[in-house]
Amino acid sequence: MPALVERYATIAGYGVGHASPAAARPYPVSWQTGVGGFAAGLLISMITSPVGVSGAVFLLPVQLSLLHVPNPAVTPTNLLFNVVSGPGALARYRRTGQLTGPLTRLLLAGTLPGVAAGACLRVFALPGPHVFRLVAAAVLLPLGLWLCARALRRDGRDRPPLSRRAVLGLGLAVGTVGGVYGIGGGSILGPLLAGRGTPLTRIAPAALACTFLTSITGAAVYGLLALTTSGDIAPHWSLGLLCGAGGLIGGYLGARLQPRLPERALRLLLGVLATALAALYLAQGIT
């Protein structure tokens, strides 16, 4: 069992048992850092939640550069952010009746088994996170640019939406990737579905629901790893909770703002976010 757990963490990109001295010590959170984390979570979630992206991936450079979270703890802290912030937007979408649509049920039917499969696959020899980031950048960069171009063109026609079977398969694939690499998946689901003409008013609640449940699984896995290994890969609870509290409010405000934004503006926003995410993945993958 310890060997499997060590293999599990190594595939996720962490050297278990080789945490830095800074990561091994309790992480003190000053009031300035706490306020900064809360504000960052609020602002990022308010911008990203209308298009179904939790914003955790954009919180990553903030945590590393401004909040000085040690690298081994960034991923589980981001998963904690997703778990705490997710109910804000989801509660608003549920109140407006957008959360119970068939797209949400289809994606969850594929995502949840996919997460379980991905978690099991972690113990085998799978490509590392650098490979995933490069592949994700190759998919998201042209898709993001295409979404921006389509949103700016007034006469653009959408492709036919994906079939139910294709949506189920997409949810299974994204859930498996999320289980292996510890990502929510909304940032990948949103652009792919929007690129096939699905309205973002349907995509956003479904993608956020998948991200929320995937993150619960990922956070539980990292919690187990923290108990069974010597490396410091547990989340930084205080900062994760503060960022998540800001994201909880920001997500609700973003979901409340979504009906007031035209579909073209939402697609342009999603295209910009997808392009920025691809650039971030590309930079991480080549370094």
Q: What is the pLDDT of residue 18?
A: 41
Q: How far apart are CA 157 and CA 189, in angstroms?
A: 20
Residue 94 above 80 pLDDT?
yes
Which of the residue ranges 26-35, 92-101, 187-196 would you say has the lowest mean pLDDT? 26-35
Q: pLDDT band at 282, cuts 50/70/90? A: confident
- pLDDT tens figures, 36-75: 999 999 999 999 999 999 888 788 788 877 887 776 677 7
Q: pLDDT band at 19, cuts 50/70/90? A: very low
Mean of the per-residue pLDDT values for the chain?
A: 80
- pLDDT tens figures, 129-180: 677 678 778 888 988 898 898 888 766 566 777 888 999 998 898 888 776 6
Q: What is the pTM of this model?
A: 0.80
Which of the residue ranges 18-22, 246-250, 266-270 would you say has the lowest mean pLDDT? 18-22
Residue, of 16 and 109, whose pLDDT is higher? 109
- pLDDT tens figures, 99-115: 888 899 899 888 888 87
- pLDDT tens figures, 213-249: 888 877 777 777 667 766 556 678 888 999 999 999 9
- pLDDT tens figures, 177-200: 776 666 667 778 888 888 888 899
What mean pLDDT comes out for the span 85-104? 92
The pair phi, psi for residue 151, each rounded to 5°, is -70, -30
Residue 25 above 70 pLDDT?
no
